[in-house]
């Protein structure tokens, strides 16, 4: 099962992802099984949850503060893809965020379907050798 951890001040993105995931589950349009969607309020929380024996995607809202987002990306081990969401006025940060390890960068307005689709897409980039998670399509497994 795939976990999604959302680093945000409010539970907006987590709530939107849960609603969209439920909608896709009912209509049968989703392409991966989400085990849980959690909302973290600190970098330490994200690191702790992601270090457990799980596979997933981290969604980061730039509204938590650029220093916190940069600190997370600098220390990230790359086992979980990171999707960063920010306001349009932060567009100049896209390439620095990508260079630090963000897998994808989206600028608002971001609708729930678009965000969930991006989580699905980047989850396929996870390469696990322990057989516990998705494996990148290019490696032939």
Q: What does DSSP assign to residue 95?
A: H
Strand partners, 74: none
Average pLDDT, the chain: 81
**What pLDDT sits at residue 133?**
45
**What pLDDT sits at residue 31?**
60
| pTM of the predicted protein model | 0.81
Domain boundaries along the sequence of the chain: 2-139
The backbone torsions φ and ψ at residue 56, rounded to the nearest 5 degrees and listed phi first, read: -175, -165
At the top level of CATH, the class of 2-139 is alpha beta
Tell me: the pLDDT tens digits for 51-103? 777 788 999 999 999 899 998 999 887 688 999 999 999 999 999 999 999 99
97: exposed, middle or buried (C-beta count within 10 Å: 0-12, 13-18, 19+)?
A: buried
pLDDT of 42 over the 80 cut:
yes
């Amino acid at each position: 099962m795939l976990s999604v951890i959302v680093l945000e001040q409010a539970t907006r993105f987590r709530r939107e992802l849960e609603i969209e995931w439920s909608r896709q589950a009912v209509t049968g349009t989703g392409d991966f099984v989400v085990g849980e969607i959690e909302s973290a309020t600190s970098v330490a929380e994200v690191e702790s949850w992601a270090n457990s024996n799980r596979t997933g995607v981290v969604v980061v809202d730039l509204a938590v503060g650029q220093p916190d987002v940069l600190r997370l990306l600098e220390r990230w081990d790359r086992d979980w893809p990171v999707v960063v969401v920010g306001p349009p006025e932060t567009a100049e940060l896209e390439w620095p965020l990508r260079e630090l390890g963000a897998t994808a960068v989206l600028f608002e307005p971001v609708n729930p379907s678009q965000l969930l689709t991006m989580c699905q897409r980047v989850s396929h980039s996870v390469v696990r050798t322990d057989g516990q998670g998705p494996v990148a399509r290019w490696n032939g497994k």
